[in-house]
Amino acid sequence: MSYRLLLVEDDQELAELLIDYLELESFTITWEPSGDKGLDIALTESFDVIILDIMLPGLSGVDFLKKFRQQRLTPVIMLTARGEELDRILGFELGADDYLPKPCSPRELVARIKAVIRRVVMDQQTSKTTQPNNLLTVGPLLLNLSSHEAIASGKQLNLTGTEFELLSLLMQHAGEVVSKETLSIQALGKQLSLYDRSVDMHVSNLRKKIADLCDTPSLIKTIRGKGYLLKQY
């Protein structure tokens, strides 16, 4: 099966390198160097994954993602020129599913894309096999596993696919410590690598979204050196 990717990257040399490699892996690529035009394409056409540079002419990658997430939940992998933690945190807060610092290895990018696609496929399979009223409830949190609807204190909780999977795992194991390795494999679809803080950043973003709607203190506890725990009610 061929998957459609949108590459929004203004570095022509890098873009051509990535396109050549991705096409060898049977991906169908649409390339756009402009953030503004890239956003228009992303909102009018259907893609399986979007690869988005942060530093773009016109509309920046950050503004692109902010506007895009208001309408679509298509997985987004961000490319950061400096690889600075601030860039990554901001990207995750806006709903990025993963990131890679530039210059990036085409092989590593393919691995990340395939991990994101595996997660999406697993989500779809889970939705087909779950019952219509398959609900998870922990304290003020409610998840509908079939419709992927999230509720916090009676209000709609807008989560990305990755955030939904993380919260689902934590709710299924409420009162238990879930390791970062488990969260990375089952929610992000990839092995946890050394110095990889993707899980931490997604959990941080998830905490903020829940805190905005719930009066209770942080429901997700960090268990240093082990993982995360959702408070049992």
Give the tens place of pLDDT for each residue, 221-233. Answer: 999 988 999 988 7
The whole-number pLDDT of residue 86 equals 64
Domain 130-230 fold: Arc Repressor Mutant, subunit A (1.10.10)
Q: What is the mean pLDDT of residues 164-182?
A: 92
Q: Place 38 in a pLDDT band, splitting at 50, 70 and 90.
A: very high
Look at residue 123 in the predicted model and tell me its pLDDT.
64
- Domain(s) labelled CATH 1.10.10.10 in the chain stretch across 130-230
Which of the pair, 152 or 95, is modelled with greater confidence?
152
**Given this model, what pLDDT does residue 55 score?**
87
pLDDT value of residue 153: 86
**How much is the pLDDT for 31?**
97
What is the mean pLDDT of the segment spanning 193-216?
Answer: 87
The confidence band for 17, taking pLDDT boundaries of 50, 70 and 90, is very high
The mean pLDDT value of the chain amounts to: 86
Q: pLDDT higher for 178 or 69?
A: 178
Q: Where are the CATH 3.40.50.2300 domain residues in the chain?
A: 4-120
Segment 110-122 shows an average pLDDT of: 84
4-120: which CATH number, 3.90.1150.10, 1.10.10.60, 3.40.50.2000, 3.40.50.2300?
A: 3.40.50.2300
Q: Is the pLDDT of residue 130 over 50?
A: no
Cα gap 179→104, rounded to integer Å: 28
Using omega within 30 degrees of 0 as the cis cutoff, is the peptide bond preceding 140 cis? no
**What's the whole-number mean pLDDT along residues 123-147?**
70
* Across 3-8, average pLDDT: 96
Q: What is the pTM assigned to this prediction?
A: 0.62
pLDDT score recorded for residue 131? 44
Is the pLDDT reported for residue 128 higher than 60? no
Question: Does residue 75 surpass a pLDDT of 80?
Answer: yes
Per-residue confidence at 34, pLDDT binned at 50, 70, 90? very high
Q: Residue 70's pLDDT is what?
A: 81
